[in-house]
Amino acid sequence: MAAAGSLLSGICIAWHGNTLGIVANIISLSLLSGLSVNTGSSVILALLFSAYSYVSSPVYMIINYVERKSDEQKTVKSSRKLVLILVPLIVTILFFFIYRSSSTLFDALASKINWSFISWSWILFTIGGFILLYGFFYHQRINEMAMLDDKFVSNVAPKPGNTILFFGKEITLADEDFSARLLFILLNALLLIVNVLDVDFIFGGQHLPLGVTPKQFVHQGTNMLITSIVFAIAIILYYFRGNLNFYEKNKTIKVLACVWVAQNALMVFSTACRNNLYIQQYGLTYKRIGVYIYLLLTLVGLFTTLIKVINAKSNMYLFRKNGWIFYSLLIVLSFPDWDRIICEYNMGYIKDADTAYLLSLSDNAIPIMLPLIKKDSSSEFLSREPYDRSYCARLYNILQMHNYKDIRSWNYDDIRVYSEITSKEFTDSVEVLDFSNIHLDEKSLAMLAIYNKVTTMRLHDVGITSIRVIQNFTALRKLDLKGNDLLILSGIENFKNLEKLGIDYDRLCDYTPLKSLKNLKELYVNVITPDECMELGRELPGVNVQIGAVL
């Protein structure tokens, strides 16, 4: 199972390239390492021992080397020679830095040495990888914990004696049974009230109490569930740890315990309904999906606890079974493209989706977010919506990085996303491009030419010096070129559909090319005097000159 999990999580990395797949793969390989040494180990302890192996690798490298080679005289001699070489080198390096700090002349000479041929990041990466691989192949165990794990039995065995000591007083099984009955009766009654109120609210059309938000309602329910389930399982584990499982009059307490488990499961359902109401109002997020996953794990824990009570299983049984179930769920959860699912749901079902959150998702969601910039809804032409800039920057980054990625960083989703954002259907639908404050050279603008159907383009302060670098975008009706080093407007006459144009007045000296723009209605300039504004108005009759700042 651990080997299969390693392969499956590796497939997820090649498919999505996401963090969850990487985490699942690291856990799978660590688990595989632990179980290869001891196939009878539990999931949790195998992972714990793997982490211990990684951390202690540098120490065990030395210990294991000495132990393996202590009887080999030849190796001892070679080791002695290695030490005799290393010690002088280390001392020399130490004095090199001492002399640099004490002599300015020596420091000036040493500073002329070009160390660029040394890649410290590569060295650290290689050493770190070597340490991790050593811990992977030479697995270490904490013996005391391993011995407890090796003594695992799935069923509870009866113990001699029917009494236990509690603060020095003997407690019989009958006393413990009575205490457990009373406790479970009270807890069942209390939890019944909670569940009735929740069910009535969810299905009875009740309103939240005054001052309580849906967010608080969900969080309170989840936090209460966490506390309740932990205590529920802990109490059951305590009472059914030993001879009470074999007490001839324990049927009542078993029924009460099962009812309490069922009521906790009902609370899981009500919390899921709360979370669903919250999602319907505000949309999907990773945390809200995480609530569903936690609830699923809780149900699993309650179900295995129920099996323990009914079949007199040991506490270690829960520990082991839940470990494997949780690990298996981690592998399964690595397969869905969660970013795309979140984006599709929020764009399709939420009226005012949180744009900032969607833009924080991975590139997989970018093609789905096209409607965010498909229409230029801003009332002011020069106002740059933050999501426009962020979205376009993401598009630009995907196009740019596609040319630099190789087989080492390949994954299917990157290829799919690139194919989607360069498809004719997508490029023809893009109407707004905002690359303000992003330096663009001629090569970059040529790469962006696939979006030549855009009608609004904001290129504020991007570093262009000539109109010719944007000649492909002839469908433009709105163009912002402020903040660039334009000295002439030659080539602007090719933009026949241009209605609004933003330029820097003080850097240009010839506005005659603008006269060829028959559809030009508004001209936005930065710093200009009233006299210059009047002169510009005479040169461009019918064009409304908008002044950014009046002297």
> Is 60 exceeded by the pLDDT of residue 342?
yes
Note whether 437 and 461 are within 8 A (CB).
Answer: yes
pLDDT (tens digit, 9 = 90+) per residue, 390-434?
889 899 999 988 888 888 888 999 999 999 999 999 999 998 898
Domains of the chain in start order, with CATH, are 2-112+119-150 (no CATH), 173-313 (no CATH), 353-550 (3.80.10.10)
- One-letter identity of residue 525: V
pTM over 0.85: no
Note whether 485 and 465 are within 8 A (CB).
Answer: yes
Note the pLDDT of residue 40. Answer: 80
Note the pLDDT of residue 171. Answer: 66
Please name which of 16, 322, 19, 24 lies closest in space to residue 6, comparing C-alpha atoms.
24
The two structure tokens encoding residue 25: 């793969």
Note the pLDDT of residue 383. Answer: 59
pLDDT (tens digit, 9 = 90+) per residue, 498-525?
999 998 877 777 788 888 888 999 988 8
Note the pLDDT of residue 77. Answer: 56
Please name which of 502, 500, 447, 453 lies closest in space to residue 469, comparing C-alpha atoms.
447
Note the pLDDT of residue 146. Answer: 75
The two structure tokens encoding residue 207: 């309103």
Question: Sorting pLDDT into bands at 50, 70 and 90, what band is 376?
Answer: very low
Q: What share of the chain is helix, strand, coil (3-state, %, to 5)?
A: 65, 5, 30
Question: Sorting pLDDT into bands at 50, 70 and 90, what band is 166?
Answer: low
Cα–Cα distance measured from residue 150 to residue 148, given in angstroms and rounded to the nearest whole number:
5
Note the pLDDT of residue 450. Answer: 93
